[in-house]
Amino acid sequence: LNRLYAKNHASLLFNRNTALGSQLTSEQQNELIQAITMAMYLNPNDWQLQSVYAEVISSYSPDRALALRQQILQQYPNVTNAIMLGNMALRLAEREDNLVKKSGLVELAGNAFTQALKLDPNNENAKSAYADYLSRTQQGEKAEALLRDDTHLLWRFYLQNGQFEKAQEVLLQLHQDDPDNAVVLRGLVRVAEGLGDRHRLKQYLDLLAAKDNDKNEQLWLIQKYLDGGYVEEGSKLLASVKERYPEEKLTLLMDAWLMMTNGQLREALNLTNRYLEIDSNNAGAWRLRGRIYRLLNEPHHAVDDLQRSKSLSANPAVSIELATVFSEMGQMDAAIGELVNASQQPQAPMQIRLLLELFYQRSNRLSDLERFYTRMLERYPDSPFWSIRAGQFYLSKKDTAQAVKYFRQAWEIHRQQDTNDPITFNLYLEALNQNKQYAEAINTATPWTDGPLAPVAYAQMAQAHFYQGQNERAESLFFLALDKGGESDWFQDTVLSMMLNTVGLNSAIQWTQKNPDALPSRLLSYRIALINEQFNRGMELIDRCLADISPNSPNWGNLALKKANLLVQAYMKTADTQYRNQAIAMFEQILEQYPDNPSLLNNLAYLLASNDQQLEQAINYARRAHQRDPGNPIYLDTYAFAQYKNGNFEQARQNLLRALQLYDAQRAQVPWDVYNHLGMVYESLGQIAEAIDSYHKALQVAADIPEKERKAIEERVSTLQQQANTSL
């Protein structure tokens, strides 16, 4: 009886300490150790007690814990003990600075996992643990070979190691074989989150929501819907859960989340505080309160709560939010440090690495950026993405030799995958030319002069000849590039840009005169007119193109949109309201053919609102765009801006706060004009401090803000600060 009591008492204390998390005191930890020691004394042959004791003391007595783990495996050789020894050895190796000792710990881990597999070659836990070990020790190919025959373990392995594309490939095949498998669908949800693919995320969540889910599964779905910015779906499911399970405490937290999403920040804060009084160890609750404080412009409170959330449960999303708050406070070192740590987590989403790259660029930390690219290429050797990013970085630094190296790497990956991407091919040849490797550029391009890459091949060969003084040969090759490119926008833009930097504009004009009435010639002439700001000439050319085709033709929309954008550009350049009115009329004409296109609706709404034209119609267009794609923060920002222009300031404020949260849900950087619009709304509401703060954020995040807008915001800030000082 005493033996059983001691064991149960130790178990209760262990569960208590686990629940306390970061609030655990040293006295409570000592109480647990004493209880386990007594239980072990009374139950000397209970290896599970010894195992728990080893884990508890590993934080302050690692060598003793490891020795105990080895002893347990020797006396009780089973798969579980072998895996736990391997896991502990790996954890200790990560913290070890002594290289010799680190190497020994890694070898010990490998031996333990190997023993686990020998004990039971088909044990899934043993195979997963050994595969994880192989991956961590740069033996990824062996890990994949080990799991290749078990696709369910293979996708989990890819997911665990942040190889989202590979995990997706396996999961999609499994989903095709068994469309109703909920485990596979949840895996696809996690992959979509990792890749930032909101369309697929919504698709898989909807498939899961259609199932007969239990309470915990429904709560998980609500969280995913809300975290992804799908408020309507999350709200409906939450109402259903509250009706079926009225005593469930987590619905209080979900209600708070909904209120935050709807811009009811004080109400959301009150509900979150009520929940934290019930459960102060919920990481999600602290995260939610941190997000609310950030939206309330209380960054120090936001940091405290987000850090508390992270201490309870490490989560890449929390790290992104912390880094964002730090950056808004001007603490870029702290923001970068947060992202560096988060990026090392196996399942860190792509957005963490993109944000870290952006912060390195903004801080001009070029050495860190170089090391970052090296790490990314080591981690993702089969993806061309980071090779291209590294190449672009070195090209911008004029380090053309390094740029060649990385673009060649990216192109070779595309060749192996049989994708033959024209953009990568163009970058590789461009780097060769800039590095004066003209012969290699020509030799690399020549085999591709027949086929979809021909425009790029001929254009880059033309550049190589031009740089060697062979102008006539260069011009003839550029003409071939334009012939091969046809009416493709990307090819025409790319080739024309190269011609302007080499043989000159007259050569491009000469090509258009060979067959002036052909569509490719007219389109190139239109581009030349844009460059020369000959707006009427550009409209004449587009009108001639439009006259030759029916509005039902697939090409009509593209041409009509060119005309509309040209009219907008002409208006912005000349301030001639005739151009503006014609642009509005053109957008309305396009909408007659494509009435449900959210991008067109959004662009027309913004054009009307920003020029104080047809403001009620602007709201209508913006609302329709938002309803077509409610998860798009760009459309929601336009809707809020149109509401602001109509004097609906409170609705505009709520929608702009929702737009900020949608950007957060996508782990995307908030554009400067969203903060600018929020500042304008707060100013109209008489909330001067909040307006100043929003304007400051607009200036802070804007690397690409036009100088005119920057000055206008700075003037608004100065005026508001004077008003605030006067009122004190």
What does the pLDDT look like over 66-77, one tens digit per residue?
999 999 999 999
Are residues 152 and 128 part of one domain? yes
Are residues 120 and 29 part of one domain? yes
* Mean pLDDT, range 583-602, rounded to an integer: 93
Q: What pLDDT, in 10s, does the model give residues 256-304?
A: 999 998 888 999 999 999 999 988 889 999 999 999 999 998 999 999 9
SS (H, E, C) 347-379: CCCHHHHHHHHHHHHHCCCHHHHHHHHHHHHHH
Q: Is residue 35 part of a domain?
A: yes
Q: Is residue 480 part of a domain?
A: no
Find the radius of gyration of the CA atoms of the chain.
30
Q: What pLDDT is recorded for position 728?
A: 57
Q: Is the dihedral of CA 691, 694, 696, 698 positive or negative?
A: negative
Are residues 121 and 97 part of one domain? yes
Residue 218's Cβ-count burial label (10 Å; 0-12, 13-18, 19+) is: buried
Using pLDDT thresholds of 50, 70 and 90, give the confidence band for residue 136.
confident
Q: Give which of 542, 551, 469, 475 is closest to 514, Cα–Cα.
A: 475
Residue 225, pLDDT > 70, answer yes
**Rounded Cα gap, residues 630 and 618, in angstroms:** 17
Using pLDDT thresholds of 50, 70 and 90, give the confidence band for residue 1.
low
Q: What pLDDT is recorded for position 707?
A: 87
Q: What pLDDT, in 10s, does the model give residues 84-112?
A: 999 999 888 888 888 888 889 989 999 99
Are residues 186 and 230 part of one domain? no
**Rounded Cα gap, residues 717 and 675, in angstroms:** 13
Are residues 257 and 268 part of one domain? yes
Give the domain extent around 117. Answer: 1-216
Cβ count within 10 A of residue 593:
13
Q: Which residues contact 125 (CB under 8 A, 6 or more apart)?
A: 79, 80, 83, 116
Q: Is residue 268 part of a domain?
A: yes
Q: What pLDDT, in 10s, does the model give residues 367-407?
A: 999 999 999 998 888 889 999 999 999 999 999 999 999 99
Are residues 231 and 188 part of one domain? no
CA 485 vs CA 291, 359, 457, 491, 506: distances in Å: 49, 37, 11, 5, 19
Q: Is residue 341 part of a domain?
A: no
Number of residues assigned to the chain = 728
Are residues 143 and 66 part of one domain? yes
Are residues 262 and 181 part of one domain? no
Q: What pLDDT, in 10s, does the model give residues 667-703?
A: 788 899 999 999 999 999 999 999 999 999 999 876 6
CATH code assigned at 22: 1.25.40.10
Q: What pLDDT is recorded for position 553?
A: 86
Burial letters for 703-718: b for 16+ Cβ neighbours within 10 Å, e otherwise? eebeeeeeeebeebbe
Are residues 113 and 125 part of one domain? yes
Q: What pLDDT is recorded for position 22?
A: 61
**Rounded Cα gap, residues 629 and 636, in angstroms:** 9
Are residues 181 and 68 part of one domain? yes
Host H or E run for residue 118: helix 99-119
Are residues 155 and 49 part of one domain? yes
Mean pLDDT rounded to a whole number for the chain:
91
Under a CB-based contact definition with an 8 Å cutoff, are residues 84 and 69 in contact? Answer: yes
Residue 587, pLDDT > 60, answer yes
Q: What pLDDT, in 10s, does the model give residues 490-517?
A: 999 999 999 999 999 999 999 999 999 9
Q: Which residues contact 576 (CB under 8 A, 6 or more apart)?
A: 570
Please count the structural domains in the chain.
2
Are residues 199 and 85 part of one domain? yes
Q: Is residue 91 part of a domain?
A: yes
Under a CB-based contact definition with an 8 Å cutoff, are residues 645 and 615 in contact? Answer: yes
Six-digit token string for 459? 């254009």
